[in-house]
């Protein structure tokens, strides 16, 4: 199935079914993001990003929000 076919099928959904799909996709998307985040943590990517942010801040490259 192509993305276009999925889009057309979604367009045909009733409001109730669209609501169910929206809720399902929200949960699905969050689970995918959580797995990506966990992978980044395990790979040490967040440590490197944090170290870079601290270094930039100490070098005066940051501003107050």
More confident residue, 7 or 46: 7
Helix, strand, coil shares of the chain as percentages rounded to 5? 80, 0, 20
- pLDDT tens, position by position, 3-35: 999 999 999 999 999 999 999 999 999 999 999
- Does this model's pTM top 0.75? no
36 assigned to some structural domain: yes
Q: What CA–CA distance (Å, rounded) separates 3 from 27? A: 20
Confidence tier at 49 by pLDDT (50, 70, 90): confident
Q: What CA–CA distance (Å, rounded) separates 1 from 18? A: 19
Neighbouring C-alpha atoms within 13 Å toward the C-beta of 58: 6
35 assigned to some structural domain: yes
Residue owning tokens 């501003």: 63
Structurally, the chain folds into a number of domains equal to 1
Q: Is the pLDDT of residue 48 over 90?
A: no
4 assigned to some structural domain: no
């Amino acid at each position: 199935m192509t993305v276009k076919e999925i889009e057309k099928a979604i367009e045909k959904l009733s409001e109730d079914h669209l609501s169910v799909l929206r809720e399902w996709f929200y949960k699905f998307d969050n689970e995918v993001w959580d797995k990506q985040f966990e992978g980044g943590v395990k790979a040490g990517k967040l440590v490197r990003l944090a170290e870079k942010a601290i270094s930039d801040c100490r070098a005066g490259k940051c501003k107050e929000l």
